[in-house]
């Protein structure tokens, strides 16, 4: 099931994606492919994977991003809604099941739609969910802003012993005053700096959504357990409400 809705009223559903069928809806989702070279090799984080279309599947009512290793090369999947679904303020809700093992780095996140013009971190980044297999049970929620210079100073690490078991709901509520993050309906972090300017709050503009499964990298860690592959990052649904 896939639906787009009129956004005339406050907090209205503009995207509801349940990944029915057997292929990705390319009217909404863009593939990101390759290793980031030559402009951003390793995707700016020394990540090991090459993104490929065949690692993105829609099956059994789920979006499945699969990280693989063939003994030489790591491949995985990454998609985004750049220039298709972009919005300023709203609520994003994603129900997903994590991959596990040392080296996996799945993420649900957002980037400012002006990133091609202003670069990163001036674009701003909203990390709704990041998980690194080297640190089991921990979910990271982070905001990247120009004043943080790429460091994760605006962040919260939430420990949930059962987070690897089954599906969980990750939600972000974004307004002009604050950004709040929830896991399974429980508020885990609120970001609302007293001074909101271009340096501390690059969040008063449209953003787009990204879903990906990285391997290794600066955050995922230099050590990768090759015996864990393949690993799947499975997404049950994505909902976006625009304020």
Cα separation, 63 vs 89, whole angstroms: 25
Q: What is the DSSP letter of 136?
A: T
pLDDT at 153: 82
Block residue for tokens 């080296």: 103
Residue 6 has pLDDT above 50, yes or no: no
Block residue for tokens 């429980």: 186
pLDDT at 8: 39
Cα separation, 46 vs 43, whole angstroms: 7
105 and 77 Cβ atoms separated by less than 8 Å: no
Half-sphere exposure of 86 (CA within 13 A, CB side): 14
57 is annotated as an active-site residue? no
pLDDT at 142: 96
127 and 115 Cβ atoms separated by less than 8 Å: no
Nearest to 158 by CA among 148, 168, 150, 166: 168
68 and 229 Cβ atoms separated by less than 8 Å: yes
Strand 179-183 and strand 168-174: the pairing is antiparallel
Stated as kind and residue range, the H or E segment containing 140 is strand 138-144
| Active-site pick, 17, 57, 130, 232 | 130
pLDDT in tens, 141-174: 999 999 987 677 899 999 999 999 999 999 999 9
| Active-site pick, 17, 47, 125, 232 | 125
Cα separation, 4 vs 30, whole angstroms: 17
pTM of the model: 0.95
State the CATH class of domain 7-242. Answer: mainly beta
Residue 83 has pLDDT above 60, yes or no: yes
Burial 13-45 (b: 16+ CB within 10 A, else e): bbbbbbbeeeebeeebbbbbeebbeeeeebbee
Cα separation, 57 vs 233, whole angstroms: 11
Stated as kind and residue range, the H or E segment containing 68 is strand 62-69
- DSSP 3-state of 41: helix
194 is annotated as an active-site residue? no
Cα separation, 240 vs 218, whole angstroms: 30
pLDDT in tens, 13-56: 999 999 999 999 999 999 999 999 999 999 999 999 999 999 99
- Nearest 5°: phi and psi at 172? -130, 130
pLDDT at 150: 63
Nearest to 139 by CA among 80, 79, 181, 179: 181
pLDDT at 176: 97
């Amino acid at each position: 099931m896939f639906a787009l809705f009129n956004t005339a009223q406050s907090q209205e559903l503009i995207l509801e994606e349940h990944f029915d069928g057997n292929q990705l809806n390319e009217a909404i989702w863009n593939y990101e492919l390759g290793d980031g070279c030559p402009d951003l090799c390793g995707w700016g984080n020394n990540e090991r994977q090459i993104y490929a279309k065949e690692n993105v599947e829609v099956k059994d009512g789920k979006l499945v991003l699969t990280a693989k290793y063939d003994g030489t090369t790591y491949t995985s999947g990454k998609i985004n809604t750049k220039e298709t679904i972009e919005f300023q303020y709203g609520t994003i809700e994603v129900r997903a099941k994590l991959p596990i093992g040392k080296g996996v780095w799945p993420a649900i996140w957002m980037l400012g739609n002006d990133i091609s013009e202003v670069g990163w971190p001036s674009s701003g980044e909203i990390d709704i969910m990041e998980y690194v297999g080297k640190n089991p049970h921990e979910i990271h929620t982070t905001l990247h802003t120009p004043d943080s210079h790429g460091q994760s100073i605006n962040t919260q690490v939430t420990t949930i012993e059962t987070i690897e078991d089954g599906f969980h709901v990750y939600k972000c509520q974004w307004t002009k005053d604050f950004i709040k993050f929830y896991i399974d309906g429980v508020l885990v972090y609120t970001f609302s700096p007293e001074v909101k300017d271009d340096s501390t709050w690059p969040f008063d503009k449209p953003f787009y959504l990204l879903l990906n499964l990285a391997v290794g990298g600066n955050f995922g860690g230099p050590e990768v357990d090759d015996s864990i592959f393949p690993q799947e990052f499975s997404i049950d649904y994505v909902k976006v409400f625009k304020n």
